[in-house]
Structure 1
Amino acid sequence: MAPAQSLYPRSTLKRIIKAHSNKALAKNTDIMIFLDYTLFLQDLLREASIRSKQSGERGISARSIRRVRDMSLRKFKG
């Protein structure tokens, strides 16, 4: 049986976060950031889907994502 593949490279994400924050990271900070990011994307796509259906579009377009982007970013602002 093949080993489980991780969803993202933890060491790369830790290195990026540390370079931007210039602070020490707790043990599972990268996991929390990744989970928050996936929740943000899920919310963004859900809101864009609702908006595109309301405007009569067949699918999600870049325009429908741009319309809900600011609202979703405000929800996830720390």
Structure 2
Amino acid sequence: MAPQQLYPRSTVKRIVKAHSNRNLSKNVDIMIFLDYTLFIQDLMREATIKARLSGERGISARSVRKVRENSLRKFKG
């Protein structure tokens, strides 16, 4: 059985190309996916730390909102 794709590569490339109006390299969709994964991982790690410092039992939307801006700044290209 062949491995299943996590996302449609051609669709991602088409969307990015339409928004950027630039030529794209062969594996740009993989780089975008990996960058997104690292961003979500960083966001959740920072939200977990913020929630624990605030005395919350789990991660809430409030703790994610508090760390959102810092995480977005780290990943701005």
TM-score (norm 1): 0.93
Q: Which runs of 5+ in 1 are unaligned?
A: none
Match of 1:52 in 2: 51
Counterpart residue type for residue 74 of structure 1: R
Counterparts of 1:33 and 1:12 in 2: how far apart (Å)?
13
Counterparts of 1:6 and 1:50 in 2: how far apart (Å)?
33
| % same residue | 73
Counterpart residue type for residue 48 of structure 1: A
Match of 1:61 in 2: 60
What is the RMSD of the two structures over their aligned residues, measured on CA atoms? 0.8
Match of 2:37 in 1: 38
TM-score (norm 2): 0.94
Match of 1:75 in 2: 74
Deviating runs (4+, > 6 A) in structure 1? none
Tell me how far 1:29 sits from its aligned partner.
Answer: 1.0
Q: Does 1:5 align with 2:1?
A: no
Report matched runs for 1:16-27 at 5 Å: 16-27=15-26
Tell me how far 1:25 sits from its aligned partner.
Answer: 0.5
Q: Which runs of 5+ in 2 are unaligned?
A: none
Tell me how far 1:60 sits from its aligned partner.
Answer: 0.7
